Amino acid sequence: MSRIQTEKQQNSLNLMGELDTHSLNDLWVSQDTLFSDVTHIDVAKVTRVDSSGLATLVYFCNQYNLKLTGISPQLQTLIELYDLQTVINQ
What pLDDT is recorded for position 88?
A: 82
φ, ψ (nearest 5 deg) of residue 58: -60, -45
User: All domains of the chain, ordered by start, with CATH?
Assistant: 4-89 (3.30.750.24)
Per-residue pLDDT in tens (0 to 9) along the chain, 90 residues: 468 999 999 999 999 999 999 999 989 999 999 999 999 999 999 999 999 999 999 999 999 999 999 999 999 999 999 999 888 866
- In the chain, how many H helices and how many E strands? 4, 4
Task: Report which residue type is found at 9.
Answer: Q
What pLDDT is recorded for position 2?
A: 60
What pLDDT is recorded for position 85?
A: 87
- Nearest Cα to Cα of residue 35 among 3, 59, 4: 59
- Rounded to 10°, the helix 51-64/73-81 angle is 80
φ, ψ (nearest 5 deg) of residue 21: -50, -35
